[in-house]
A and B are shown apart, each in its own frame.
Chain A
Amino acid sequence: EVQLVESGGGLVQPGGSLRLSCAASGFTFSNFGMNWVRQAPGKGLEWLSYINKRSDTIYYADSFKGRFTISRDNAKNSLYLQMSGLRAEDTAVYYCARDEGPVPTIFGPWGQGTTVTVSS
């Protein structure tokens, strides 16, 4: 069974940093691109970043370039999102999602999300 499990969320002060993780199982992680998506309370879905299977193609939504960094460790079947300079508006549930194509195509399985709260 394909599973994606996010972790690393929590309460962080404005200006702080946080590293989210997404542990993959039930499939060959190194064969798939991956994405991060977030959803602020009561709001819609917002795509953050994509990384291909070899980590040699990375895309960011404009709003997050320079503040967020996506990475992966295929040996550990894990995806990461390093977030810095966090603001109150970064408060959201953060999801990882598997990309189903050899290039950005479509999201297949999603994790259940990890909650990040930015507050003093």
Chain B
Amino acid sequence: SYVLTQPPSVSVAPGKTASITCAGNNIGTKSVHWYQQRPGQAPVLLIYYDSDRPSGIPERFSGSSSGNTATLTISRVEAGDEADYYCHVWDSSSNHYVFGTGTKVTVL
């Protein structure tokens, strides 16, 4: 089965840039989506189709994907960005959705 691996945690100071990776075999050939989940809340779509932002999502959030790694980048990090972040793909070879292992972002 297809596996997506993320770092368990990322720590970043306010105003700095955080990068969260999502590793998967040839993930660059798939459409990657990212969700933000704040404590006690449901996930919210953050980035779709590798790099697009839904309306209402700040430009500080950006995404990219190539080869075996997709990356979510949070620029000018704010305290409110503390949350868990998950990458997500549809694996057409197995007809399964797959979530990444999740990354907890801590703002120092």
Residues of A within 8 A of B (CB): 35, 37, 44-47, 50, 59, 61-62, 95, 104-108, 110-113
User: In the assembly, what is the distance between CA of A104 and CA of B89, in Å?
Assistant: 10
**Do B43 and A61 touch (CB < 8 A)?**
no
Which candidate, B17-25, B59-67, B68-76, B98-106, is the interface stretch facing chain A? B98-106
Collect the chain A residues with CB atoms within 8 Å of residue B31's CB.
Answer: 105-106
- Note all chain B residues with C-beta closer than 8 A to A107: 33, 35, 43, 45, 88
Chain A contact residues, majority secondary structure: strand
Query: What are 9 sample pairs from A and B whose C-beta atoms fall under 8 A apart?
Result: A44-B84, A44-B102, A45-B102, A47-B99, A104-B97, A106-B90, A107-B43, A107-B45, A112-B41
- Shortest Cβ distance from A4 into B: residue: B42
Measured CB to CB, the nearest residue on chain A to B92 is A104
> Is the CB–CB distance between B99 and A46 below 8 Å?
yes
B50 to chain A, nearest CB (A): 11
Known A105-B90, A107-B35, A107-B88; judge A47-B96 contact (CB<8 A): yes
Chain A minimum-CB-distance residue to B8: A44
**Chain B: which residue is nearest A46 at the CB level?**
B99
Chain A CB within 8 A of B93 CB: no
**Residue from A59, A104, A113 in contact with B42 in the complex, judged by beta carbons closer than 8 Å:** A113
In B1-54, the 8 Å CB interface with A consists of: 1, 31, 33, 35, 37, 41-45, 48-49
Chain A nearest Cβ from B89, distance in angstroms: 9
Q: How far is the CA of A110 from the CA of B35 in the complex (A)?
A: 11
**Contacting residue for A45 out of B41, B45, B95, B99, CB 8 A:** B99
- Is A50 a contact partner of B102 (Cβ separation < 8 A)? no
Q: How far is the CB of B12 from chain A (nearest CB, A)?
A: 20
Q: Is the CB of A106 within 8 A of B102?
A: no
Nearest B residue to A57 by beta-carbon distance? B95
Contact A95 B95 (CB under 8 A): no
How far, in Å, is A58 (CB) from chain B's closest CB?
10
CB distance from B15 to the nearest CB of A (A): 28
Checking A44, A105, A111 against B99 with a beta-carbon cut-off of 8 angstroms, the contacting residue is: A44
